[in-house]
Structure 1
Amino acid sequence: MAGRKALKVYLDLLSQPCRAVLIFLKINKLPHAVEYVALRKGEQRSPEFTKLNPMQKVPVMDDNGFVLTESDAILKYLATTYNVPDHWYPKHPERRARVDEYTAWHHMNTRLHAAKVFIFEVLLPRVTGQPTDAGKVDKALAELEGTLDKLENMFLKRQAFLCGDDISLADLLAICELMQPLGGGRDILKDRPKLLTWKSRVQSALSDSFDDAHSVLYRLRDKAKL
């Protein structure tokens, strides 16, 4: 479109929702520019970034002057504004409602519980220099089990993907969260064959964009193994 600036996203690829946004842009071949914001260096607190997002969080999208925060909102905006396959965020009211149902549940379940494992096992020990609190990790893992049960027994009960027979924004957001504990060398799906099969389907659908977005996390995993 003449005179239109390229879509720009502000990301840190150690952030699960940032990876989801980047994968979506890449798999759908949407022209974009990436501005990396290193959370570990506190770059999100800079005056320039704070002006862009007063909440000092990533991801942030700037689409020709339209600035949007929150990965859920960004992904749904991209899916409805740009020419992408309908399965990501279906126009059919009931199928779209299923995606909305999952994304409403996601924040206080998949996201919260998988992130807690990573925070207690990897992030806090690195930031504080203190050893990992095994009790907190065990509690976080126990809470996560309930969420994994729901993913298997409710969302994947009779279908290949979380919200139907094809991949959607729900699967993209979920897989990026469930990968996060891998940063500490922990595969939370290894004893969950149903979820592992789903993960394989998701990875296959996302092609190279999946591994590209997770390369930073893989490096962290490899350090944890050492």
Structure 2
Amino acid sequence: MAGRRGLEIYLDLLSQPCRAIHILVNVNKIPHILKTVALRKGEQKTPDFAKLNPMQKVPVIDDNGFVLTESDAILKYLATKYHVPDHWYPKQPERRARVDEYTAWHHTNTRPQAAKVFLLEVLLPRMAGQPTEQARVERAVSELSVTLDKLQDMFLKRQPFLCGDDISLADLLAACELMQPLGGGRDVLQDRPVLQRWLGRVQSAVGSSFDEAHAVLYRLRDNAKAKL
């Protein structure tokens, strides 16, 4: 059809939810056009992007004129619209509800707690020129540890993935979030073998797409190690 642009995805791979979307579309071979928005350069504040998303945040998708913001909504839309395998976002009501349960919990637990560690240890010192406040970092790490206990006990339990026997959108969101402190050289799963094995299963399930999405984070990690 003339004038159809296809699916355009605006993201910055330093953003955790952007990586989750990047992995989903690549693993499932969803045709798309990648539009990089460099947050560190303030590209999200340009007039053109602000028209697309007045909140001036990524991720955003434009699917032939249908514009959608917020990672949770985007992931579920893509899984539904592009008919990805059912395990990502199951049609069966109880199984779908388990994914929805985690994604609702995620935004007030895993996401802010892991992001805070990265903010205090990486973003503020390196990009805002503020000194690292070790006491605040350690407090944030302690708060994240409580969240990790809940993640393991409430969701992972004795099953391979957060919502059952197969990988889902919940695992993508959680895994990308818990990788974020690695940008400062901190492995928050270092002393958590159960969660380490879970993360390994996530990585195996999505293959090379995981490392492709996290390449920018790996570079940050290597730079952090080089400065030690």
Q: Quote the offset at 1:6 in angstroms.
A: 1.6
Q: Displaced runs of 4+ in structure 1, greater than 4 A? A: none
Q: What amino acid does structure 1 have at the position aligned with 2:67?
A: V
User: Which aligned pairs between 1:70-89 and structure 2 lie closer than 5 A?
Assistant: 70-89=70-89
User: Which aligned pairs between 1:34-49 and structure 2 lie closer than 5 A?
Assistant: 34-49=34-49
Q: Secondary structure at the match of 1:23?
A: helix
Question: What's 2:17 paired with?
Answer: 17
User: Which aligned pairs between 1:76-225 and structure 2 lie closer than 5 A?
Assistant: 76-225=76-225
TM-score (structure 1 length as normaliser): 0.98
Q: Percent identity?
A: 73
Q: What amino acid does structure 2 have at the position aligned with 1:88?
A: W
Work out the CA distance in 2 between the residues paired with 1:125 and 1:26: 33
Q: CA RMSD in A?
A: 0.7
Q: Deviations over 1:189-219 (max 9, x none)?
A: 0100000000000000010000000000000
Work out the CA distance in 1 between the residues paired with 2:21 and 2:52: 18
Q: Quote the offset at 1:125 in angstroms.
A: 0.6
Q: What amino acid does structure 2 have at the position aligned with 1:143?
A: E
Q: Deviations over 1:34-87 (max 9, x none)?
A: 110010111100000000000000000000100000010000000111121000
Q: Secondary structure at the match of 1:108?
A: coil
User: Which aligned pairs between 1:42-61 and structure 2 lie closer than 5 A?
Assistant: 42-61=42-61
Q: What amino acid does structure 1 have at the position aligned with 2:12?
A: D
Work out the CA distance in 2 between the residues paired with 1:193 and 1:152: 11
Work out the CA distance in 1 between the residues paired with 2:182 and 2:134: 17
Q: What amino acid does structure 2 have at the position aligned with 1:139?
A: R
Q: What amino acid does structure 2 have at the position aligned with 1:21?
A: I
Work out the CA distance in 1 between the residues paired with 2:6 and 2:183: 32
Structure 1, unpaired ranges of 5+: none
Aligned length: 225
Q: Deviations over 1:165-202 (max 9, x none)?
A: 00000000000000000000000001000000000000
